[in-house]
């Protein structure tokens, strides 16, 4: 796979990234959306020991340096503490600025959720920032800011103290905008091993669409042609969701058709991403009672899509379609979990397969079109895929073939999940890796009604006897009302009740293109557990 786009430098000791605006440096809470630090640690095994040496505000973009070794961490901690690291920011202030105070020095005190500049006084930690006007552009005046110290919100506070709040910084009196126009453009330090000065630079990208800038920083467009572009209120479009699905856009909202403003945005996205056409689906809470023809997305703009077409995810090929009701063929919010299987890396000291994956057995319950199964088979495991739909299992076989995998070397089982979990147990089958990703609600003739919030413990209880000692369970759920902490505790309690012990646990939320914010809370929860 290609490298992560936001990585601008990596060697044995350092990882340097250009963080996009809208992404925290690290997760603000245990079950919140991942920050770039958390996301990177579970991205590659060689990044699992990353250390945070400094931070950027969520809405500030720019250069972040992470340490990869103990030697680097010690050196960089000393350099940041002794103020030997030189940082240069650029920012935009609305209007024409002809003069600015070149040096600001103050104490900075916290007042509620913001900070304020106060005159230097005894006992206060002083903050110092140097400013310089660089010129003008169509948004206002471009200004350089060089912080000598590193206090929280320092540049923002010192700009506002001069009555020059940064564009988009409404917390400090700035004019509302589609992002905070503050960017860490340059950072210089002494390399922790060579001792030579190294300088890293990343352009501000102030002209980029913030939603696209965030995705393009994290998602390799060569290896991935399917991801979420706009995620509702998190991207300033409440109730509207837009996915890239191969060469097409899929718009979704509660309305039957996109609004004129949404059609205009879709047209802009088609042109900007060089895609072929756009479709729209009306979201309905009554999925079970919606006929396939009504649930299918309708063509809106550009070219129409063929009955089936290819999309790419994590370098693999999958078949997609807009003619199968609500099913397009791939749940895009599980992309990072599938990558974890391919990389055999859930998190620090947590592989999916302990031994050689070629000797591993994997069971994918509720397999749908078998995307998880393809990743397991590609990693080397022998996979059993179980689903209630023959059509989806056939779809899964085609996905195997699209990736050069022989379906005949793996098992595809049609039937009710609970019934087959019992059958497999009686047969003495055991698996190294087991996936439970059930629908929030389903109904089968044999198993009756399944509701995730009430029936998930029973599902785990039926699956645990099939998991080998040392095996890994992936348990996922998209019931939005079920709080992550309660979901994780349910899994632990069910494991205890079945006399199994957790050796390792990793909680992961939905990927960062499905942005979790107070106005658009997360819905997808996944807990990976390794069991004794």
Answer for the pair 379, 316: CB distance below 8 angstroms, yes or no.
no
pLDDT in tens, 493-508: 999 999 999 999 999 9
Is 173 within a domain? Answer: yes
Nearest to 205 by CA among 188, 236, 183: 183
| Confidence at residue 89, expressed as pLDDT on a 0 to 100 scale | 98
Is 474 within a domain? Answer: yes
Q: Which two tokens stand for residue 154?
A: 């320092």
Domain boundary among 148, 168, 201: 201
Q: Which two tokens stand for residue 277?
A: 């056409």
Phi, psi for 94 (deg, rounded to 5):
-60, 150
User: d(Cα 143, Cα 447) in Å, to the nearest integer?
Assistant: 65
Helix (H) and strand (E) counts in the chain? 12, 27
Please check whether residues 301 and 225 belong to one and the same domain.
yes
Residue partners of 178: CB distance under 8 A and separation at least 6: 168, 209, 210, 236
| Confidence at residue 287, expressed as pLDDT on a 0 to 100 scale | 52
Is 103 within a domain? Answer: yes
The domain that holds 513 is classified in CATH as 3.40.50.150
Block mean pLDDT (10 aa), the chain, length 532: 85 98 95 95 95 96 98 97 96 96 96 94 88 96 97 97 97 97 98 97 94 97 96 97 98 97 98 97 70 80 98 98 93 98 96 90 98 98 97 98 98 96 97 96 76 93 97 96 96 97 97 96 97 96
Please check whether residues 460 and 523 belong to one and the same domain.
yes
> Other CB atoms closer than 10 Å to residue 116's CB: what's the count?
16
Q: H helices within 234-370, ranges in order? A: 260-273, 292-295, 335-343
Q: How many domains does the chain have?
A: 3
Is 487 within a domain? Answer: yes
Residue found by looking up tokens 């999925």 in the block: 287
Which are the catalytic amino acids? 57
3-state secondary structure of 405: coil
Please check whether residues 163 and 247 belong to one and the same domain.
no
Please check whether residues 181 and 238 belong to one and the same domain.
no
The domain that holds 237 is classified in CATH as 3.30.750.80
> In the beta sheet, which residues pair with residue 182?
91
For residue 517, give the DSSP letter: B
Please check whether residues 147 and 262 belong to one and the same domain.
no
Is 206 within a domain? Answer: no
Is 481 within a domain? Answer: yes
| Confidence at residue 450, expressed as pLDDT on a 0 to 100 scale | 84
Residue found by looking up tokens 């579970």 in the block: 42
Domain boundary among 254, 281, 312: 312
Please check whether residues 196 and 223 belong to one and the same domain.
no
Is 1 within a domain? Answer: no
Please check whether residues 298 and 353 belong to one and the same domain.
no
Q: Which two tokens stand for residue 489?
A: 């505790």
- Domain limits for position 485: 331-531
Answer for the pair 334, 372: CB distance below 8 angstroms, yes or no.
yes
Please check whether residues 338 and 249 belong to one and the same domain.
no
Please check whether residues 300 and 444 belong to one and the same domain.
no
Is 318 within a domain? Answer: no
Cα 52 from chain centroid? 19
The domain that holds 56 is classified in CATH as 3.30.2350.10
Domain boundary among 279, 312, 345: 312
| Confidence at residue 441, expressed as pLDDT on a 0 to 100 scale | 82
- Burial (CB < 10 A; 0-12, 13-18, 19+), residue 40, is buried
User: d(Cα 239, Cα 91) in Å, to the nearest integer?
Assistant: 31
Please check whether residues 12 and 139 belong to one and the same domain.
yes
For residue 520, give the DSSP letter: B
pLDDT in tens, 454-491: 999 999 999 999 999 999 999 999 999 999 999 999 99
Please check whether residues 23 and 163 belong to one and the same domain.
yes
Q: Which two tokens stand for residue 231?
A: 């995620």
| Confidence at residue 124, expressed as pLDDT on a 0 to 100 scale | 80
CA atoms within 13 A on the CB side of 56: 29
Please check whether residues 494 and 386 belong to one and the same domain.
yes
Dihedral through CA 268, CA 272, CA 274, CA 278, nearest 10?
-30
Cα 64 from chain centroid? 18
| Confidence at residue 1, expressed as pLDDT on a 0 to 100 scale | 45
Nearest to 475 by CA among 510, 444, 441, 435: 435
User: d(Cα 334, Cα 524) in Å, to the nearest integer?
Assistant: 9
């Amino acid at each position: 796979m290609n490298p992560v786009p936001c990585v601008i430098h990596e060697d044995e000791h350092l990882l340097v990234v250009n963080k996009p605006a809208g992404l925290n440096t690290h997760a603000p809470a245990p079950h919140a959306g991942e920050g770039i630090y958390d996301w990177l640690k579970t991205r590659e095994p060689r990044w699992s020991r990353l250390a945070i040496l400094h931070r950027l505000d969520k809405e500030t973009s720019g250069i972040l340096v992470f340490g990869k070794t103990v030697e680097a961490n010690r050196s960089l901690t000393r350099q940041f503490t002794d103020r030997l690291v030189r940082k240069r920011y650029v920012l935009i202030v609305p209007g024409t600025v002809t003069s600015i105070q070149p040096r600001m020095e103050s104490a900075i005190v916290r007042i509620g959720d913001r900070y304020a500049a106060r005159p230097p006084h005894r006992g206060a930690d002083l903050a110092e920032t140097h400013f310089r006007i660089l010129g003008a552009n169509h948004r206002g005046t471009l200004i350089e800011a060089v912080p000598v110290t590193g206090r929280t919100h320092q540049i923002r506070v010192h700009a506002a103290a001069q009555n020059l709040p940064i564009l988009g910084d409404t917390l400090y009196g700035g004019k509302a905008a589609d992002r905070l126009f503050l960017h860490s453009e340059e950072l210089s330090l002494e390399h922790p091993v060579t001792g030579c000065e190294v300088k890293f630079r990343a352009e501000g990208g102030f002209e980029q669409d913030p939603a696209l800038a965030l995705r393009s920083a994290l998602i390799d467009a060569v290896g991935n042609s399917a991801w979420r572009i706009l995620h509702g209120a998190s991207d300033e479009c409440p109730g509207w969701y837009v996915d890239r699905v191969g060469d097409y856009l899929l718009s979704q909202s509660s309305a039957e058709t996109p609004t004129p403003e949404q059609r205009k945005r879709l047209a802009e996205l088609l042109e900007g991403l060089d895609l072929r056409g756009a479709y729209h689906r009306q979201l309905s809470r009554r999925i079970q009672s919606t006929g396939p023809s009504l649930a299918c997305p309708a063509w809106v703009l550009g070219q129409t899509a063929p009955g089936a077409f290819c999309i790419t995810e994590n370098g693999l090929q999958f078949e997609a379609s807009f003619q199968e009701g609500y099913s397009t063929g791939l749940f895009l919010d599980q992309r990072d979990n599938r990558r974890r299987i391919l990389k055999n890396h859930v998190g620090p000291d947590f592989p999916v397969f302990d031994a050689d994956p070629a000797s591993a057995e994997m069971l994918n319950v509720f397999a749908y079109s078998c995307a998880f199964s393809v990743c397991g088979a590609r990693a080397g495991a022998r996979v059993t895929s179980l689903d209630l739909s023959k059509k989806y299992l056939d779809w899964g076989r085609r996905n195997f073939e699209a990736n050069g995998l022989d379906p005949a070397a793996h098992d595809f089982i049609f039937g009710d999940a609970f019934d087959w979990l019992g059958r497999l147990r009686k047969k003495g089958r055991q698996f190294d890796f087991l996936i439970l990703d059930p629908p929030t609600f389903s109904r089968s003739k044999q198993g009756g009604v399944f509701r995730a919030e009430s029936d998930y413990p029973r599902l785990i209880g039926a699956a645990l006897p099939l998991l080998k000692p040392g095996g890994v369970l992936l348990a996922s759920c998209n019931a939005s009302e079920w709080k992550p902490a309660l979901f994780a505790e349910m899994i632990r309690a069910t494991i205890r009740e079945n006399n199994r012990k957790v050796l390792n646990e990793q909680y992961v939320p939905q990927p960062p293109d499905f942005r979790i914010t107070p106005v658009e809370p997360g819905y997808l929860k996944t807990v990976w557990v390794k069991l004794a």
